[in-house]
């Protein structure tokens, strides 16, 4: 965390968040969403980014913030989203508003907020509020729910012997 780096400032469910610009592919308005039945609620659907397909993620859900008025998937709901690539897959992370690009110095997460540090790299001081610096890799990994509850009973069975 040495020095300042460029970040996008966005708001998600009323909270200010920072996204490293180095990781941002583009910022888009998603208008048509193809739903993916059966996925975690945080997956809003698929959207075409020119010839590529991005998985649209509801950041509010992943961050455990109030879902509020979730954008209804459909032709009229325009959702602003930040596009990024994680492990070769394209994701569009839906945010409420996108305000600014600025340099921030990221400070470590205050002790005691371990739940938040599952998806954040740290915090920074914004205009009258604390901004949460998102860790995109962990945010994507956390789509299915809280990170520490990820092992299903089945996984636990098969992985235990090899560790022993």
The 99-138 site mask, x for binding another protein (CB under 8 A), equals: ----------------------------------------
Considering only residues 1, 26, 29, 34, which one is a binding residue for another protein as defined by CB under 8 A? 34
Q: C-beta of 143: minimal distance to another protein in Å? A: 4
Starting from the edge strand earliest in sequence, which strands make up the sheet with 89-95, in order?
24-30, 79-86, 89-95, 52-58, 43-49
d(CA 86, CA 90): 6
Q: C-beta of 116: minimal distance to another protein in Å? A: 21
d(CA 90, CA 94): 13
Q: C-beta of 133: minimal distance to another protein in Å? A: 22
Q: Which residues contact 18 (CB under 8 A, 6 or more apart)?
A: 7, 8, 9, 10, 104, 106, 124, 131, 132, 133, 134
d(CA 137, CA 102): 21
Q: What are the phi and psi torsion angles at 59 (to 5°)?
A: -65, -30
Stretch that binds another protein, among 15-23, 48-56, 118-126, 127-135 (CB under 8 A): 48-56
Contact 9, 131 (CB under 8 A): yes
Q: Does 46 bind another protein (CB under 8 A)?
A: yes
Q: C-beta of 77: minimal distance to another protein in Å? A: 15
Instruction: Count the site residues for another protein by CB under 8 A.
Output: 29
CB nearer to another protein: pick between 123 and 140: 140
Binding site for another protein (CB under 8 A): 32, 34-40, 42-43, 46-48, 50-53, 55, 57, 87, 89-91, 140, 143-144, 161-162, 164
């Amino acid at each position: 965390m040495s020095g300042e780096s460029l970040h996008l400032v966005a708001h998600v469910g009323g909270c200010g968040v920072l996204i490293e610009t180095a990781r941002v592919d583009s910022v888009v308005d998603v208008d048509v969403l193809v739903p993916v039945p059966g996925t975690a609620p945080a997956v809003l659907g698929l959207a075409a980014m020119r010839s590529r397909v991005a998985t649209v993620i509801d950041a509010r859900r992943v961050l455990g913030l109030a879902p509020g008025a979730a954008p209804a998937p459909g032709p009229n709901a325009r959702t602003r989203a930040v596009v990024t690539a994680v492990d070769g897959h394209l994701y569009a992370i839906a945010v409420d508003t996108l305000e600014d690009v600025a340099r921030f110095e990221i400070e470590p997460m205050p002790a005691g907020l371990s739940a938040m540090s599952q998806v954040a790299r740290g915090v920074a001081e914004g205009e009258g509020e604390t901004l949460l610096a998102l860790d995109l890799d962990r945010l994507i990994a956390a789509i299915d729910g809280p990170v520490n509850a990820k092992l299903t009973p089945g996984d636990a069975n098969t992985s235990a012997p090899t560790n022993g």
